[in-house]
Amino acid sequence: MINKDSLTQHISAQFNADLESVRSNLLAMGGLVEKQVNDAVTALIDANSELATTVRATDTEINQMEVSIDEECIRILARRQPAASDLRLIIGISKSVIDLERIGDEASKIAKRALLLSEDGEAPRGYVEIRHIGDQVRRMVQEALDAFARFDVDLAMSVSQYDKNIDREYKSALRELVTYMMEDPRSITRVLNVIWVLRSLERIGDHARNIAELVVYMVHGTDVRHKSLLRNKQDADSAE
């Protein structure tokens, strides 16, 4: 088991500083990614092209953060040769940044849809669902990061469970939108924009779950991915 205190128990003060630095950089990246999700959804709902453009531009910053945290992890592995829980922490961080970067990509795609919708005209339906599911995935990302910051396994587990609700709501929103398109085929292009946004949100939920599962791995050393404890295949792709 690791916890925050164990971070202060290293023989080398420098090693300690390295670990704390990479960990806080990951949390900073997480904070920015969370803001990107929030801003992208807001830009879409408020038809705010300026905000959408900012989200698109900020994605570069997130990509740079990914590369730099990754390099930090490799430097620590090479110089400090960490073992046991420290090694798991570094591996966990180097995997979490992949998910954070992809959440950033999805936020950028949502911002792109916001721009398209402001050109093509508003979609006739789906904004309520986007706001609702958007709030939930944002909370998932936030709680996954909190779980990471506090090495809180219980919170991580609850984030992971949460994903099932989102998949369910995504599916139901999709059904409703398909019915709408059938009734009004001229709306298909615009409704598809909404569907892509919902799908991006659903993916963000998946990535948040991955991060939560990495927290469990870092703390317990147990790989819970693909385990029935936190998900099962049926649920995992039922959103499709």
Write out the residues near a second copy by the rule CB under 8 A.
Answer: 59-60, 63-64, 66-67, 70-71, 74, 77-78, 81, 83-84, 87-88, 91, 94-95, 98, 105, 108-109, 112-113, 178, 181-183, 185-186, 188-189, 192, 196, 223, 225-226, 233, 236-237, 240
Query: In this complex, which beta carbon is closest to a second copy, that of residue 99 or of residue 152?
Result: 99
The answer to whether 26 touches 93, Cβ cutoff 8 Å, is yes
- What residues contact 178, with CB distance under 8 A and at least 6 apart? none
Query: In this complex, which beta carbon is closest to a second copy, that of residue 155 or of residue 218?
Result: 218
CA dist 61 → 4, 25, 47, 52, 170 (Å): 28, 13, 24, 15, 30
Q: How far is the CB of 30 from a second copy (least distance, A)?
A: 18
53 vs 114: CA distance, rounded Å: 9
Q: How far is the CB of 238 from a second copy (least distance, A)?
A: 9
Instruction: Using CB atoms within 10 Å of the CB of residue 91, give its burial: 0 to 12 exposed, 13 to 18 middle, 19+ buried.
Output: middle
Query: In this complex, which beta carbon is closest to a second copy, that of residue 23 or of residue 113?
Result: 113
Query: In this complex, which beta carbon is closest to a second copy, that of residue 155 or of residue 173?
Result: 173
Q: In which residue are the tokens 């909404």 written?
A: 194
5 vs 85: CA distance, rounded Å: 12
**DSSP of 112-181:** HHHHHHHHH---SS-HHHHHHHHHHHHHHHHHHHHHHHHT-HHHHHHHHHHHHHHHHHHHHHHHHHHHHH
First to last CA, the chain: 36
Query: In this complex, which beta carbon is closest to a second copy, that of residue 4 or of residue 225?
Result: 225
Query: In this complex, which beta carbon is closest to a second copy, that of residue 155 or of residue 198?
Result: 198
